[in-house]
Structure 1
Amino acid sequence: MGAIQRSENATFFVDGPGGTGKTYLYCALLASLRRLGHIVLAIASSESNYNIAWGKIMIFGGDFRQVLPVIRKEFLLRVGDGNEDVIMDNMVKLLECMVIPWESEHSINLLIAKIFPDLEDHINDATYMVERAVVTPTNEDVDMLNEKIINMFPDLEETMYSFDSVEDNPRNLYQPEFLNSISLGGLPPHNLTLKRGAPIMLLRNIDPKLGLCNGTRLLCRGSYQNLIDAEILIGQFAGSRVFLPRIPLKSTDIAGLPFELTRKQFPMILSFSITINKSQGQTIPHVGIYLPDHVFSHGQLYVALSIGVSKSTTTILAMKMWSLNHEQMGGNCNIDVNM
């Protein structure tokens, strides 16, 4: 703030472990500076071109523990740094109080019951829903968990079907049934099943000024053929009601498709369960971590563990025993959960 008042050029970097308030700080800075009449832009670091004339004050922020090791401290940071003590065969042992032993498919139901207790009694309960989620590494497991949990809802379901197309499709080479079957990260499913009171998450920036950004969590208040009535659950606009239409969404170059798929669908997915990567930067008081296979790196495990607020409200279900090779920080992060 001093540099701004003195009109100095400066660069700052905000570093802090997960859950320590970085996002809160960013919001406070944005609000304070805009109130004073300054122009402030918040941009994701993944953007390659900003088209901004430089000579401005730049504030970068993040947590290097999510990609590289930095500091040694308590259990969470030791995992993020790759410095947690190991036992036999280089296995990191998780805290016993956080783990549900894997016995059978029944263990998944135990995890769901732990994170969403008495679910049927909390339909349309925004506070209950925003404080709970199960995170897992892959989209496939996210879909499986969301389907399991939405089926527990007593309300009638409504399925919204997308309209899929390929612009250059000579002789109808790509049939609608094939396009409908494509499932990609970042795109909503062809058949989006919703029930009143279910939590959902946006997949695109719709209107950032109103808090409708990629990753915003909402509660479905009503679903119609071409409109979703929803309540924002997080941020300064929590409690606001919004109406969301279908929009055309395009696949990216990294999707690996030989064509560009256009899917006209509501830009959202159910969010009882979300991927670990999608949960980065959020704080969820009651979080379940479902690990049916390897996490991609020790940084991903750190992100999953940092979403919760305490070990007493974080529950882990893992199907295997894995080892962590500290010499290969980009490799699989493996965990001993045999308690």
Structure 2
Amino acid sequence: MTSLDPERASLPFGGITIVFGGDFRQILPVIPKASRTQIVSASLNSSKIRDHCRVFLLEKNMRLSSGKTEQEKHEIAEFSKWVLDVGNGTLPNVYPDDIISDPKVVIPDKFMIRARENPLKAVVDVVYPDLAKNIKNADYLRERSVLTPTNAIVGDIN
């Protein structure tokens, strides 16, 4: 871009607009064998280019607003608010006097899937009820997903 406009040489990405998307509280760079401090320091929020960014916040989770009944919509809204509160750090710490470790929060029972025998199967059964009947239903499959932190867990689920 400097060949077109020499002033662009001082701008990040040569002055080209770049869109970074995601929840940067949850998406961290992968740095093998790095400490937490090193990982956070390498994140976009700690980057030198952060000062050149214009931040837009999305406050409504559109994926969580698809309830069919009023009860479903209420439950989805309640869960969505809880997830935002976790991300914003506004939930009370279980150990308020512990300022050294990460804050600990209580996950409400209604958001938990409890299974001692086969927890992976329990998660799949909750996310994909009646999978055998719906295996060829594209809409059924498109409406569901299990997110995992590593590819190894994806392999276990599959």
TM range (shorter): 0.3 to 0.5
Q: TM-score of the superposition, structure 2-length normalised?
A: 0.46
Whose relative contact order is higher, 1 or 2, with alpha carbons under 8 Å and at least 6 apart? Answer: 1
Q: TM-score of the superposition, structure 1-length normalised?
A: 0.23
